[in-house]
């Protein structure tokens, strides 16, 4: 048996089996098993399990959070290395201070230049740094990270960018892929906000894991889920349980009072509107830059901002720079974006990691064949939908503005694709010039606006909420694309009021 002075956990390999090493560690957890007492130790490089088979009562004095010098014999159990305690002593104050410095240093983030030139990103840098520090701290505090993201191209691009940054760090820290699911979870949201039913479901799991297994409360990261009004109740609920939440989003937070409340509760809130920019800087773009702050070695994400911008119809200089950086043809990006939305439509609330990841990873096996196969299916469905839309769409003229309406309720398809948003888009794209398109359902209106800057979807939602409280109106989105929701009984009144607002455009111009 060879005894050596010291080593770090991340440098151990099979050649060390049978040897004894000294480690300066923090005890992160202590668990009773059917046999030995199990200690979960960390030396800032990774986590390591050590067993105490001895009946020596000296080991019972140690507590979770103690800093100790541990003398361990290295063994192998299954496919993993673990240690057997030979001896252990509490570190002195100097040793604790030095080890704490190591733990703090691994939480440091990189601050690279952005991938593109952008004043909006420069102004957002302090908040992006704050978000990166929160996420990296959660990793090294062994706090679970839960990512909730919108189930569209921008939301998926944002989530995948952060995932590619943090998973290697989690894997390196825990040295056991079987434990990754304990520390990281991702799930899409079909709604553009954190639904209260999801909050209750997540809370149930979180609190049970904390009670049964001593699991730390998670950090929840919300991506592209910016409907402030609907998020407020969910975020307030989480605050009651001291759960930290980050929100990274690019939608216009119209309601100042509710936005102020949300900002006060959230740990970090990153949004381009807070620095005078707009939604064309998408969540996927911001999260790609954020991923590089968290992990400068993150791979295969430089195409994600262009993909996110394509999916969200971004058209500013930032998008053009990301498009050039991606090196991918604009039309091919459009196909990928549409395929992601199509796949997400059927996946809905499932994580289905492999199905979506392959579409986002341009280097994955058979990527082009997969895109072409899915796209050909989409083309067939879109072709059939266009015929129906062309037959039943209506158009009226208001001066030089076209008012287009399509009854999506009567054009629903058995499998739900194209959905209301895309049916409305098909009707909208049948015409050119100044136009407003309404996609009608029994309890909502999807709006698309082109070249009519004085008509703002979010402002319309806020105005109708005040003038028609009985309609229980909510919704919104971007300034020129969003959804107005209401109770079904109010449909006729709401539609009349929307028509009135459109008619008022004539007066605004005089």
**What are the Cα distances from residue 100, in Å, to 7, 93, 215, 247, 497?**
17, 10, 22, 29, 62
Assess contact for 156 and 340: CB atoms under 8 A. yes
Give me the pLDDT at residue 450, please.
93
Burial string for 121-142 (b: 16+ CB within 10 Å, else e) reads beebeebbbbbbbbbbebbbeb
Between CA 18 and CA 73 the distance in angstroms is: 6
Domains and CATH numbers, the chain: 3-105 (2.40.50.140), 119-299 (3.90.1640.30), 383-509 (3.10.310.40)
**What are the Cα distances from residue 247, in Å, to 221, 225, 243, 355?**
6, 8, 13, 25
Between CA 191 and CA 475 the distance in angstroms is: 11
DSSP 296-318: TT--S-TTHHHHHHHHTT--SHH
Give me the pLDDT at residue 414, please.
63
Assess contact for 174 and 46: CB atoms under 8 A. yes
Q: What is the 3-state secondary structure (H, E, C) of 334-356?
A: HHHHHHHHHHHHHHCCCCCHHHH
Between CA 419 and CA 415 the distance in angstroms is: 9
Strand 219-223 with 244-248, pairing: parallel
Q: At CB < 8 A and 24+ separation, what contacts does 101-109 make? A: 102/43, 102/44, 103/26, 103/42, 103/44, 103/140, 105/44, 106/44, 106/45, 106/140, 107/133, 107/136, 107/137, 107/140, 108/136, 109/133, 109/136, 109/293, 109/294
Residues of the chain scoring pLDDT < 70? 1-5, 55-59, 175-179, 348-353, 414-415, 506-510
Nearest one of 272, 296, 315 to 128, comparing CA atoms: 272
| Per-state percent for the chain, helix, strand, coil, to nearest 5 | 50, 20, 30
Assess contact for 168 and 183: CB atoms under 8 A. no
In this prediction the pTM is 0.86
């Amino acid at each position: 048996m060879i005894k050596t002075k010291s080593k770090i956990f991340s440098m151990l390999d099979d050649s060390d089996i049978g040897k004894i090493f000294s480690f300066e560690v923090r005890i992160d957890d202590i668990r009773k098993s059917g046999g030995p007492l199990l200690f979960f130790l960390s030396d800032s490089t990774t986590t390591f399990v050590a067993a105490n088979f001895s009946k020596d009562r000296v080991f019972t004095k140690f507590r979770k959070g103690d800093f100790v010098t541990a003398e361990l014999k290295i063994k192998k159990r299954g496919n993993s290395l673990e240690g057997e305690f030979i001896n252990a002593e509490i570190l002195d104050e100097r040793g604790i201070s030095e080890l704490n410095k190591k733990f703090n240093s691994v939480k440091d983030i990189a601050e690279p230049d952005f991938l593109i030139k952008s004043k909006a990103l420069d102004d957002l840098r302090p908040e992006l740094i704050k978000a990166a520090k929160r996420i990296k701290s959660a990793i090294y505090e062994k706090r679970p990270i839960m990512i909730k993201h919108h189930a569209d191209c921008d939301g998926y691009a944002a989530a995948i960018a952060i995932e590619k940054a943090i998973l290697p760090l989690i894997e390196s820290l825990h040295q056991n892929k079987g434990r990754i699911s304990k520390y990281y979870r991702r799930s899409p949201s079909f709604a553009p906000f954190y639904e209260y039913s999801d909050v209750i479901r997540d809370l149930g799991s979180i609190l049970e894991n904390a009670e049964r297994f001593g699991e730390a409360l998670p950090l929840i990261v919300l991506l592209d889920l910016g409907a402030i009004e609907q998020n407020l109740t969910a975020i307030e609920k989480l605050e009651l349980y001291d759960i930290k939440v980050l929100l990274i989003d690019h939608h216009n937070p119209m309601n100042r009072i509710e936005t102020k409340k949300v900002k006060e509760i959230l740990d970090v809130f990153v949004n381009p509107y807070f620095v005078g920019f707009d939604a064309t800087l998408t969540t996927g773009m911001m999260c790609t830059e954020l991923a590089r702050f968290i992990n400068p070695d993150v791979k295969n994400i430089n195409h994600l901002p262009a993909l996110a911008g394509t999916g969200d119809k971004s058209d500013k200089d930032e998008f053009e720079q990301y498009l050039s950086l991606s090196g991918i043809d604009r039309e091919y990006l459009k196909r990928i974006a549409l395929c992601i939305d199509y796949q997400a439509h059927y996946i809905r609330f499932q994580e289905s990691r492999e199905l979506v990841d392959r579409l986002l990873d341009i280097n994955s096996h058979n990527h082009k064949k997969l895109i072409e196969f899915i796209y050909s299916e989409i083309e067939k469905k879109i072709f059939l939908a266009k015929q129906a839309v062309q037959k039943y769409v209506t158009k009226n003229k208001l001066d030089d503005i076209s008012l287009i309406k399509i009854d999506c309720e009567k054009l629903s398809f058995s499998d739900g694709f194209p959905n209301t948003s895309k049916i409305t888009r098909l009707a909208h794209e049948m015409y050119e010039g100044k136009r407003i398109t309404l996609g009608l359902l029994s309890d909502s209106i999807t709006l698309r606006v082109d070249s009519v800057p004085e008509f703002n979807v979010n402002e319309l939602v806020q105005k109708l909420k005040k003038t028609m409280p009985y309609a229980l109106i909510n919704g919104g989105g971007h300034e020129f694309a969003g959804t107005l929701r209401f109770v079904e009984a109010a449909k006729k009144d709401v539609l009349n009021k929307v028509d009135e607002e459109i008619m008022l455009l004539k007066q605004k111009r005089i």
